[in-house]
Amino acid sequence: MSRRLASLALAAAMTAGACAPRFVASEYALAQPSGPYRLASGDRLRVIVFGQDNLSNIYAVDGSGRISMPLIDSVEAQGRTTQQLEKAIEAKLRGGFLREPKVSVEVDAYRPFFVLGEVTNSGQFPYVNGMTVQTAVAIAGGFTPRGQRAYAEVTRQVEDQLVTASVPITYPVQPGDTIVIKERWF
């Protein structure tokens, strides 16, 4: 998606009325994930180097978007898929350490998501596959009596920029999302 389209959708979201639900399809479709999962800070990865038990372990993607492994030091993980990271680790290991390295990378734990606003317990929570805004609110203890139950605002990293959109509560949540439940007006 183009940055221009993202900017237009974000501007439309900010100028829309604050108290009415804003289910503009292009607005929240903008933040829909496309393609394979991209790694980022906060993810924990299970790296298996076949035949090398001392290199196989669970590694966290640090704040700079890298993982640190024995022998090869750090490897850039930020923005890569697990398959791309496998190839990068294999290339570093092939550079003087192993003849034919075979590496497998899988996500052991996704980075957390955040729920703020009119929920019982705001905060950071572990991501579970297949979540929607509604299940995220349930994990956060449910809506407060004043919580808006029809829509929420979701902020997500899309193409190196943060995008915020009003979405229905059935909208899928991704790791790293920030969900804000607004106050409803009676």
For residues 71 and 84, give the distance between their C-alpha atoms in angstroms, rounded to a whole number: 19
Per domain, the residue ranges of the chain are 3-35+111-181, 44-109
Pick the CATH number of 3-35+111-181 from 3.30.420.10, 3.30.390.10, 3.10.560.10, 3.90.1170.20: 3.10.560.10
17 Cβ partners below 8 Å, 6+ apart? none
* Same topology between domain 3-35+111-181 and domain 44-109: no
Look at residue 117 and tell me whether its pLDDT is greater than 70: yes
For residues 85 and 91, give the distance between their C-alpha atoms in angstroms, rounded to a whole number: 10
Residue type for position 175: P
pLDDT in the model for residue 61: 96
For residues 137 and 133, give the distance between their C-alpha atoms in angstroms, rounded to a whole number: 6
pLDDT in the model for residue 12: 45
Tens of pLDDT, residues 21-52? 444 444 555 455 667 889 999 999 999 999 99
Taking the model in full, what pTM does it have? 0.75
Architecture of domain 44-109: 2-Layer Sandwich (3.30)
